[in-house]
Structure 1
């Protein structure tokens, strides 16, 4: 009765703040990388398919929209894990696989819930962080340029690779043109004449 107070099943002990911050930072980094890829793809599509010029402000707004979407995804994951937690607390017996949670997994699932919520809140805040948004735009532009440049280099290389000996055999082809093709043309009589052509 007067012993150590235990956390209730619905509210386990508060997660270690250092571990939580590390997990949140990793979640934000992953979300940033996803935003860079998504924005870079849209830049390439607008440039190559739609023939549109790069619009810096439009791209910044696209970044904010993507961050909002990623934040919503984090909250969806939070709800999913919350449902898994509720089932785990009622589950009996031994788990059959790594995603078959039991009461003993409660602290781990609670930590994930807290992480998803914290990442979502951080992404919400970062939507209004001009430096963070600008960094994503810059990284996306660099990635898009790299992708477009790679496509151009590939196409140019394919054209140049048609005949590796083309330049080496140029003199021989010109000589054959003069000695054979032009000589044959000179030897033909003009139209309506049986006499050979002379110059």
Structure 2
């Protein structure tokens, strides 16, 4: 019987550094997608709070929602990084031909390593943007604009006024107002496509 140190697992080798320009292109594209996702998420929140919950638009609360959304997106990127790292380790031990496009082999190592780097870089950038007031405010503004486009003046009136007086009649008439929302949006659309008159 042999005595001695227990043999440790072979560490996953580190490939050559990724192409910085290619990595930056991938990161910028992913950040654009993440921003669009954040705008949609926050716009939906504005719509729900305004129409369903009768709440007044609050910039600070909406900015906080943006920061939470960016954090969630960053955590999703880190989860993807962990998943790809596991796929890469498994691929380096794999033998034979690949059976489908996600059945990775040692020849896929550079591609998987690139993805690992991209996911973690995007996550770090999203966390940095979460602390950038200008970026957060830009998403808030874009979300408000999208909410306007989605439901018209019903939301924008609340956003601009920052104050809504809700009485019993207002609550009682809510369903009839919502029923007429489609007509209001059609009227808004007609006005926006009518050319201006005069000099």
Aligned residue-pair number: 153
Larger Rg: 1
- 1:10 alignment partner, one of 10, 13, 29: 13
Alpha-carbon contact 2:80-2:119 (below 8 Å) kept: yes
User: Within the alignment, does 1:81 sit opposite 2:108 as a pair?
Assistant: no
Report how far residue 155 of structure 1 moved.
Answer: 2.3
Aligned to 1:177: none
| Distance (Å, rounded) in 1 between the aligned partners of 2:52 and 2:82 | 38
Query: Distance between the aligned counterparts of 1:125 and 1:158, measured in 2?
Result: 38
Residues 141-193 of structure 1, C-alpha deviation per residue, up to 9 Å, x if partnerless? 00011111299786218999xxxxxxxxxxxxxxxxxxxxxxxxxxxxxxxxx
TM-score by length of 2: 0.72
Q: Unmatched 5+ residue regions in structure 2? A: 1-10, 155-177, 188-199
- Which residue does 1:129 correspond to in 2? 132
1:49-81 CA-partner distances (Å, limit 9, x unpaired): 000010001100110011011000000000000
Establish whether residue 155 from structure 1 lines up as the match of residue 182 from structure 2.
yes
CA 1:84–1:159 in 2, change beyond 3 Å: closer, same or farther? closer
TM-score (norm 1): 0.72
Q: Which of 45, 48, 57 is the equivalent residue of 1:45?
A: 48
Name the structure 1 match of 2:99: 96
The unaligned stretches of length 5 or more in structure 1 are: 1-7, 161-199
Matched residue, 2:158: none
Identify the match of residue 73 of structure 2 among 70, 75, 92: 70
1:115-137 deviation per Cα after TM superposition (whole angstroms, max 9, x unaligned) = 00000000010011111111100
Whole-Å Cα distance in 1 between the matches of residues 82 and 184 of structure 2?
Answer: 51
The alignment status of 1:140 with 2:135, answered yes or no, reads: no
Aligned to 1:172: none
